[in-house]
Amino acid sequence: MKQTKVWLLLALGLSLLAMGSACSKGPTNEATPTPSTSATKAPPTADLGTISGVITFAGTVPPAKKIDTSADPVCGSENPNLTTEETLVKDGKLANVFVYVKDGAAADGTKIGEYNWATPATAVTLDQNGCHYRPHVLGIQTNQKLSITNSDKTQHNIHPTPKLNQEWNQSQPNGAPPIEKTFSRAEVLIPVKCNQHPWMKAYIGVMKSPLFAVSAEDGSFTIKGVPAGKYTVVAWKEGGADGTSKTMEVTVPASGAAKADFAFGEGAAASIAPSLKMMPAIEFPMLGKH
């Protein structure tokens, strides 16, 4: 009898234990944890290099078309020789190409997007002078101030048509104070138009980093302040719905310079990536010939 009691007690104790362990059992975890990637860090300030190059244009240069400014006599008198600015080539060198570091990582493996780039305090200026936008292509950092001025004796309206930022359309009469705006999200590139002067066009590349440049009249560009590393550099030229882009891998040594020459035009057509082919745009005579 005594034995039985012991057994009973033992069984009860064991089952209680089992019960206890059953109680403490939490939910099963089916998945494995993944490291968080949201950390950002300050970009390096020392041993910075540059990416520079020349943009060339091969093949026949589409001739710049004369713009009919009869809708606004002021434009006609201020800038009688206004022409389209889509492809500005001088001695085979292409201006107004937006070159930027799209992707890649610094030597220590930090992705370019993980740096916490500071917003410059200085504003970038976009001027309306002689009924076209000056500069025609410009880069700006996110949240950096864009100051828009009107140097013409006529009224303009500035109308950016972004896909990722807020669209707006602001009128700016002759002599009005500058309009200050910012773009909160990176977007390459935002077309800017003026509804009153349909030929007026500008393109704004909004970047998180300051790693961008626009090719000058001699086709040259220099991106400064690049941390050593391996990057994907993209050159963008306007035309069509989304422009044309060329991509190149570039390695920047510490405090060194990297070369990135790009070629546009039919002569360079072979290097166009298939994904960049555009839908054929139909011609809208309203905008073309008049």
Partner 1 sequence: MADAPGPGESLVKKEPDVPVEDPITSRSSSGWMLLCALLLTGTIVWALWDEAFGQRPWKGMQKAFVARYTRYLDSIKADAGKSEEEVKQSAEYQQLVAEEDAAREQIKDELAAIEARGKLTQAKLDAITDTFQNQRGKLTVINYNVETATGSAKDKYRREAEKKRQEVVEIELPSDDGKSVDTKKVNYAELEKLYDDLREQKARDLGQKAELLKPASELAKKKNDYLKNHLIGLGPAQIDGLKAGLAKYDYSILGHQISVNEYNIVDRCEVCHAGVRESLDIRPENMAPDGPGKTPDSWARAFVSHPNKEILAIHKPEKFGCASCHWGNGRATTSEVKGHGQHKFWLWPMFEKENTEAGCQQCHAKDRVTQGADTLNLGRDLFMQRGCMGCHRYEGFDRETDALASARQTIGQLEDQITGNEKQIRADQERSGQVEDNSEAQKLLAHAESLRVTNSLLAARIDQLNVQAKYLMQDQKKVGPNLKDVRVKLRKEWVPVWLENPQNFRPGTKMPTFWRFANAEEQDGAHMRDKDGEDQIKAIAAYLWQDSFSNKLPEQQRGDAAHGKQLFESRGCLACHSIGPEDSKIGGTFAANLQKVGEKANFDYIVRWIHNPRERVAPYCPKEKRDLTADDYAKKNLPFVFDTEQHSRCPNDGAELQVQNMTVMPNFRLSENDSRDIATYLFSLSSPPGYADASFMDDANLKEKGRLLIKQYGCAGCHEIQGFEDEQRIGKELTVEGATPIERLDFALQTKHAEEGLDPLKLRPDQKEEKPWYNHKGFFEHKITQPSLYDEGKEKDPKDRLRMPKPYLTPEWRTALTTFLLGSVGTEGANVPSSLFYTPEDQRRQDIQNGWWVIKKYNCMGCHQLQVGQRSVVMDLPFYQTAEGKDLLPPRLTSEGARVDPAWLLKFLHDPSLSGEKTPAQAQQINALAASNPQPSGSPQAAGATGPRLKPQPGLDRNGVRPYLQFRMPTFNFSSNELQVLVRFFMAMSGQQDPYIKEPLEPLTEQEKIAARQLFTSGTPCLKCHITGDAAHDEKAIAPNFLLASERLKPDWTFRWLLDPSQISPGTAMPSGLFRKEGDRWVINLPNPPASAANYHSDHARLLVRYMFLMGPDEQRQLLATGPAPPAAASTAPVQNHASKRRRKINYSHRRQIRTSSPGREAAVNLQSLISKF
- 12 part of the interface to partner 1, by CB under 8 A: yes
DSSP string covering the chain: -HHHHHHHHHHHHHHHHHHHHHHH------S---------BPPP-SS-EEEEEEEEE-SPPPPPPBP--TT-HHHHHH-TT-B--S--EETTEE-S-EEEEEEEEETTS-BGGGB-PPPPSSPEEEEE-SSSEESSEEEEETT--EEEEE-SSS-EEEEE--SSS----EEE-TTPPPEEE---S-EEEEEEE-TTSTT-EEEEEEESSS-EEE--TTSEEEEEEEPSEEEEEEEEE--TTT-EEEEEEEEE-TT-EEE--EEESGGGGGG--GGG--PPPPP-HHHHT-
Give least dist CB 250 to partner 1, A: 30
- Residue of 159, 216, 230, 232 interacting with partner 1 (CB under 8 A): 159
Task: Using the rule CB under 8 A, give the single segment among 28-36, 51-59, 121-129, 253-261 that binds partner 1.
Answer: 28-36
Residues 181-200: x where in contact with partner 1 by CB under 8 A, - otherwise, as a string:
----------xxx-xx-x--
- Residue of 62, 73, 80, 256 interacting with partner 1 (CB under 8 A): 73
- 276 part of the interface to partner 1, by CB under 8 A: no
Task: Using the rule CB under 8 A, give the single segment among 118-126, 133-141, 209-217, 234-242 that binds partner 1.
Answer: 234-242
Give least dist CB 273 to partner 1, A: 19
Binding site for partner 1 (CB under 8 A): 3-4, 7-8, 11-12, 15-16, 18-19, 22-23, 26-34, 36, 38, 70-74, 155, 157, 159, 161, 167-177, 179, 191-193, 195-196, 198, 201, 240-242, 279-287, 290
